[in-house]
Amino acid sequence: MAVPGRRAPDGAPAGLAQAELFAVDAYVDRFEATVEAVDGDRHRVALGRTAFYPGGGGQPHDLGTLTWYDGRADVSRVGRDGGRIWHWLEEAAPLPEPGAEVEGRLDWERRHLTMRTHTALHILCGVMWADHGVAVTGGNMEPGRGRLDFPLPSMSAEFGRRVEERVNEEIAAARQILVEFVGREVADEDHALIRTAAHLIPREIDPLRVIDIVGLDKQADGGTHVLSTAEVGSVRVTGTESKGKGNKRVRLEVHDPA
């Protein structure tokens, strides 16, 4: 195992640490890479390696810039397509040539806030699992705010206030956050590792990347996280609502440390 910003975790698939930097070190905000493919029709490029998170699991893609010897462009979108991670560049910008060396820089303020928000949602998930024995059924996020759905019979403002207290207690506990890779056969025997419907995680994903908030929450996840719950800052539950019978929603915001 390893913390998200220290070294490649044990068990990481061959080549992942070299190609998808965000998967093994969430704190890489600047990197150099070679342009492997250029798609002029869609104004996008694929790189030999990248620290840009391509989006997925409710976490939005990163933004930032690419710079090369005679050009510079803002990265307006990142996503997986056809087995590659593509970086869409602003329409008015030039495209680098295949084989060009580029420097990528993330919008770090946005990325770090996204990491804090994602970790806050995992803390919420862990609190709900530990205190109420319910798994998350859906969710989404943007930098600074997010929501999770749970199979609960009822939800109230008072319930939300208690959940807010519990999440902030876990943030203050400064729990370490680790990342590891677990074989699919091991994960299949530990249902707590997959807190969403198992069929949503394709069988060919093996091993699974697992985020462990030590002592609170451990589950399969592909996104980026901070090193400690304390780095989240604090949260405020901004709403609790019913989305139908047995489906209740909790919304939260992330705030800077006092």
pLDDT digits (tens, 9 = 90+) for 1-48: 444 554 456 667 767 878 999 999 999 999 999 999 999 999 999 999
From-to residues of CATH 2.40.30.130 in the chain: 16-106
Q: Does the global pTM surpass 0.75? A: yes
| Residue 197 scores a pLDDT above 50 | no
Which tokens belong to 120? 């806050």
- Within 10 A of 1 (CB to CB), how many other CB atoms are there? 14
Answer yes or no: is pLDDT of 164 > 90: yes
**Are residues 170 and 128 in contact, defined by beta-carbon separation less than 8 angstroms?**
no
Do strands 138-142 and 101-106 pair parallel, antiparallel, or not at all (unpaired)? unpaired
Angle between helices 157-172 and 108-132 (to 10 degrees): 110
Each residue's pLDDT tens digit, 64-106: 999 999 999 999 999 999 999 999 999 989 999 999 999 999 9
- Enumerate the CATH 3.30.980.10 domain ranges in the chain, comma separated: 111-255
pLDDT tens figures, 129-156: 999 999 888 899 999 999 999 999 988 8
Q: According to the model, what pLDDT value does residue 195 have?
A: 54
pLDDT of residue 180: 87
> Could you say which of 1.20.1250.20, 3.30.70.260, 2.40.30.130, 1.10.10.10 is the CATH number of the domain covering 16-106?
2.40.30.130
Q: Which pair of tokens denotes residue 196?
A: 């969403």
Mean per-residue pLDDT over the chain, rounded: 89
More confident call, 198 vs 176: 176
Cβ neighbourhood burial of 99 (10 Å; 0-12, 13-18, 19+): exposed
Work out the percent of the chain whose per-residue pLDDT is above 70: 86
Token pair belonging to 249: 């929603």
Say yes or no: domain 111-255 is CATH 3.30.980.10: yes
pLDDT above 90 (res 124) = yes
Question: What does the alpha-carbon distance between residue 58 and residue 141 come to, in Å, rounded to a whole number?
Answer: 6
Residue 162 clears pLDDT 90, i.e. is over it: yes
